[in-house]
Amino acid sequence: MIRKVVVTPTTMYMLPPTMETSNRVIRNYEYKKDNFLRVHFSDEASNPIGSSSGNFNDTFNDALYNRIYYTLNNGIKIGDVHYEFLAFSSSQLRDHSCWFFASTEDLTANNIRKWMGDFSDIKTVAKYAARMGQCFSSTRVIQYVPVSDIKEIPDIVRNGYTFSDGIGKISFSLAEVIAKELDLKRIPSAFQFRMAGYKGVLCKTRYLRANQVNQVQVRPSQHKFKSNHNILEIVRCSTYLPSYLNRQAITLLSALGIPDDVFIRMKDQQVNELNRIFESELITLNVLQQNIDEYETSQSLIELVKAGFLRTKDPYLINLISLFRIKMLQDLKKKAKIRVGKGAFLMGVLDETKTLKDNEVYCCISDPCNPSKRKVITGTCIVYRNPCFHPGDIRIVKAVYCNTLSNLMDVLVFPAVGYRDIPNQCSGGDLDGDDFTIIYDEHLIPREAHEPMNYKSKKPKPVDHVTMESIKAFFVNYVFSDQLGKIANAHLAKADSFPNGALNGQCKALAHLHSDAVDFPKTGIPAIVPQELRVEYFPDFMEKHDKPSYESEKVLGILYRSIKEVDYERYTSLNFDTRLLYVKGYEKYLNNALRLKRAYDAEIKGVMNQFGIMTEFEVVSGYIINTITKIDKKKPRNVIKSVMDTIIPIRKSYRKKFEEEFYEEGTKIISSTASDQMKSKAVAWYCVTYGLKDEDMISFPWIVYDILCEIVKNS
């Protein structure tokens, strides 16, 4: 459980401790975990502070500046405990958050920073801070990797571009170990990782054998600082996700000649499917299968529908599907999030075999609902990376079949040849964990590509010695100088106001500025927006209710006004599914089930209160349609991630409580003879929830939804 505090200009308040994925530092100092504190800075209305929260010509508010700087310098006192500044990760910097630590006689914040690694070779303040933050990435530990198993191989550099920027290799056998440790059903093709001072992606290769040394091969572009912490940590694994357009992509595609009616037709089809979602199980399954999510909520709903829980009008399932529909419609209206059937959203990797030619890609995608099915995309496609602002960010490529790459699935493989690497042409991307959208729908492919933008970063000014005082000063400077959101909004508004949209010179200038703003956390050089690029009037679809606005005549305005808001109405009938009652022996588990349910419900209500979420169904699904949160009020995606990062460990911990008694002695493997007992226990969990009148919290038994589905399928 991690303690959190929010600091505003006038006050400070504690948030309840929450469970979340751990990181290298917290794991190493587990015995001192109560001494760590997450600190978040916001204004009184829970909005971000700094330049992004006001107008472009806002001057620094001395009171706000001094409040943050004073807190970083003097620490925070809670009761008798004094917390001092420790460090911050890159994502925390963007969210105006950082780590504090309550030093003791045997362990200080400075001790921890020394343990993290040797950063003395880094001579720029921003990069020094970013490298320290690498140790705070949320990761899962896999195993210690001996130095003999790690080999550094050269980068592939051509014409000043690093084609292999951020990517290395991993053996099949070690990839198998990772999949087993993470309890994955199949072995992913690539892993975003941290190990010692290395970061980026490791892609599995058939050329590293199980009995050979060098199970991991890394590159100089992946080495960020010196460290002896040779434990392999996984940030996330490659997986298939469906592709969606958004306002930025539509703006660029529209400027490149894609007709408005293409987007309108796609939107109409999606709205029609969502509005018919309860008409039949076939439609429900089709819509859910086309919109799987990273938290696997829709995948679990698919299994519940297949097991007949929609026919029996189960309230948990009906409420989650209702929220799914509303969330999809909400995202369509506010973000122009249009699903692209012929597309995918995938982690980028490199063709280490050098088989692909210039401007060719390889992409084989799986069917999440049928693991045995796979599809190799071929033909002309577009590839882009979010965020995208320059017309040249949309790349037209040729997808080909490549037998030497057939072992790679659910990743987008880029060539190692050519004048300039494709990822760099896509909004200045690389292969250290970036995701790319690939679309093979002929209606969304422009006739020709625009020249890509040059994404070379500005060179920061070096210093002789980086101090903690300079890092604190950089944090405050970033909070008050970050223009990222403002530039993105200005680009969207400007593109709407010019006949040629994103092709206009002002939009291209804003694309360059956005690139500078993205690099600010690494370079320490803020993006300065000139007067002529500032916006006075905003299109209606941007919902800038406190600013002058107008009715947009372009496609984003048409899409926005065509979608009506939908209210959520909770389905309250608590229908008991009698198909579960054929299972015998559940009675002996009832008392324990009731005790666990009460504890679980209390934790779920705690999360609801923490994030200001009105219903249990929103919390457990991630289909959050409204919040009154204390953090990230203007960033719904951040709220969803924060909620799910809290909820998933809670639900996993109760799944573990369910399974523990069925483990074979001395292992974490469920006994082969425990099937009937597990079914009885699952029914007990169901009974203590659905057997009570006026029960308000009903997500508890669905922690073991797979067992309940198995029961009813066999009934």
Q: Is there a single domain that holds both residue 710 and residue 602? A: yes
258-262, 370-374, 594-598, 703-707: least confident range:
370-374
> Quick one: pLDDT at residue 19?
73
For residue range 151-165, what is the model confidence (pLDDT) as tens digits? 999 999 999 999 999
Write the CB contacts of 227 (distance below 8 Å, at least 6 apart in sequence).
116, 117, 118, 196, 197
- At 266, the pLDDT band (50, 70, 90 cuts) reads very high
Judged against a pLDDT cut of 50, whether residue 519 lies above it is answered with yes
Q: What is the pTM of this model?
A: 0.94
Domain count, the chain: 5
Q: Is there a single domain that holds both residue 246 and residue 369? A: yes
- At 55, the pLDDT band (50, 70, 90 cuts) reads very low
Judged against a pLDDT cut of 80, whether residue 627 lies above it is answered with no
**Encoded tokens for 81:** 């405990």
For residue range 345-372, what is the model confidence (pLDDT) as tens digits? 999 999 999 999 999 999 999 988 787 8
Between the ranges 109-118, 632-641, 706-715, where is the mean pLDDT highest? 109-118
Per-residue pLDDT averaged across 646-656, rounded? 93
Domain final residue pick, 454, 488, 521: 454
Query: Rounded mean pLDDT of the chain?
Result: 92
Which letter does DSSP use for residue 455 in this model?
-
CA-to-CA dists, residue 203 to 361, 414, 491, angstroms: 16, 12, 35
In a domain, 508, yes or no: yes
Q: Is there a single domain that holds both residue 708 and residue 583? A: yes
Q: Is there a single domain that holds both residue 476 and residue 619? A: no
In a domain, 288, yes or no: no
**Encoded tokens for 19:** 């469970």
In a domain, 558, yes or no: no
Per-residue pLDDT averaged across 97-117, rounded? 96
- At 59, the pLDDT band (50, 70, 90 cuts) reads very low
Query: What is the distance between the alpha carbons of residues 297 and 636, in angstroms, rounded to a whole number?
Result: 18
Per-residue pLDDT averaged across 51-79, rounded? 73
Query: What is the distance between the alpha carbons of residues 44 and 485, in angstroms, rounded to a whole number?
Result: 20
Q: Is there a single domain that holds both residue 202 and residue 245? A: no
Q: Answer for the pair 170, 204: CB distance below 8 angstroms, yes or no.
A: yes
In a domain, 687, yes or no: yes
Counting every residue, how long is the chain?
715
> Quick one: pLDDT at residue 56?
40
Q: Is there a single domain that holds both residue 445 and residue 506? A: no
> What are the b/e assignments for 333-343, b being 16+ CB within 10 Å?
bbbbbbbbeeb
In a domain, 57, yes or no: yes
> Quick one: pLDDT at residue 211?
59
Structure-model confidence comparison of residues 172 and 210, the more confident one? 172
Structure-model confidence comparison of residues 317 and 206, the more confident one? 317
Q: Is there a single domain that holds both residue 27 and residue 141? A: no
Judged against a pLDDT cut of 60, whether residue 629 lies above it is answered with no
Per-residue pLDDT averaged across 644-663, rounded? 92
Q: How many CA atoms lie within 13 A of 400 on its CB side?
A: 16
Q: Is there a single domain that holds both residue 593 and residue 704? A: yes
427-431, 453-457, 552-556, 620-624: least confident range:
453-457
Q: Answer for the pair 288, 582: CB distance below 8 angstroms, yes or no.
A: no
Percent of the chain with pLDDT over 90: 80
Query: What is the distance between the alpha carbons of residues 304 and 317, in angstroms, rounded to a whole number?
Result: 7
Q: Answer for the pair 313, 575: CB distance below 8 angstroms, yes or no.
A: yes
Structure-model confidence comparison of residues 388 and 210, the more confident one? 388
Per-residue pLDDT averaged across 401-408, rounded? 96
CA-to-CA dists, residue 544 to 485, 490, 538, angstroms: 13, 12, 7
In a domain, 148, yes or no: yes
Per-residue pLDDT averaged across 682-695, rounded? 90
CA-to-CA dists, residue 258 to 251, 448, 533, angstroms: 10, 11, 26
> Quick one: pLDDT at residue 715?
75
- Does the bond joining 387 to the residue before it have cis omega, within 30 degrees of 0? yes
> Quick one: pLDDT at residue 85?
98
For residue range 164-183, what is the model confidence (pLDDT) as tens digits? 999 999 999 999 999 999 98
Query: What is the distance between the alpha carbons of residues 137 and 357, in angstroms, rounded to a whole number?
Result: 35
Which residue range(s) make up the domain with 393? Answer: 239-250+342-454
